[in-house]
Amino acid sequence: MDPEHTDAQAKEQAEALLATRRILARLKVGLLESGEELAVRPTEEDRELLAHDTEFRAEDDLRVFDEWHAALGTDPQTALLQMGQRLRRGPPGANSRRSSKPALDVPFRPRSGYRPRTRSPGATSPELLS
């Protein structure tokens, strides 16, 4: 193991990955609800990730995502836009139908009136973190 790869860094990386997975799941659901045609459908894993979703968690995931990209020196807004593009037309080189619709004009943010299943802020399920 790389001596510079500390437990704290590993924890931050795991948190950023989990936040990104939940953001992707929310994007899939949000785009489908808005009538978009996607190359990828929500999976059982997506449903599990969002089973105990809250507005607090959605906002915190975006904060973690922004901080992670800032630490990497990449633009989080561009990353969100690219995620939306990939959901619409599939991964590069995929044999999927190309959408004629433009990429997301704005990144995903919880919409007004967002009513997720509630759970106390900061609560996490152990199975989601493993």
Residue 44: the pLDDT is 93
Is position 66 within any domain? yes
The domain total for the chain is 1
Is position 129 within any domain? no
Written as six digits, the tokens of 78 are: 């561009």
Is position 99 within any domain? no
Residue 2: the pLDDT is 56
Residue 95: the pLDDT is 45
Is position 51 within any domain? yes
Q: What is the pLDDT of residues 19-33, one digit of tens each?
A: 999 999 999 999 889
Is position 79 within any domain? yes
Is position 107 within any domain? no
Domain boundaries, position 78: 10-90
Q: What is the pLDDT of residues 65-94, one digit of tens each?
A: 999 999 999 999 999 999 999 998 876 655
Is position 104 within any domain? no
Output the pTM of the full model.
0.66
Q: Of 26, 28, 23, which is closest to residue 40 (Cα–Cα)?
A: 28
Is position 48 within any domain? yes
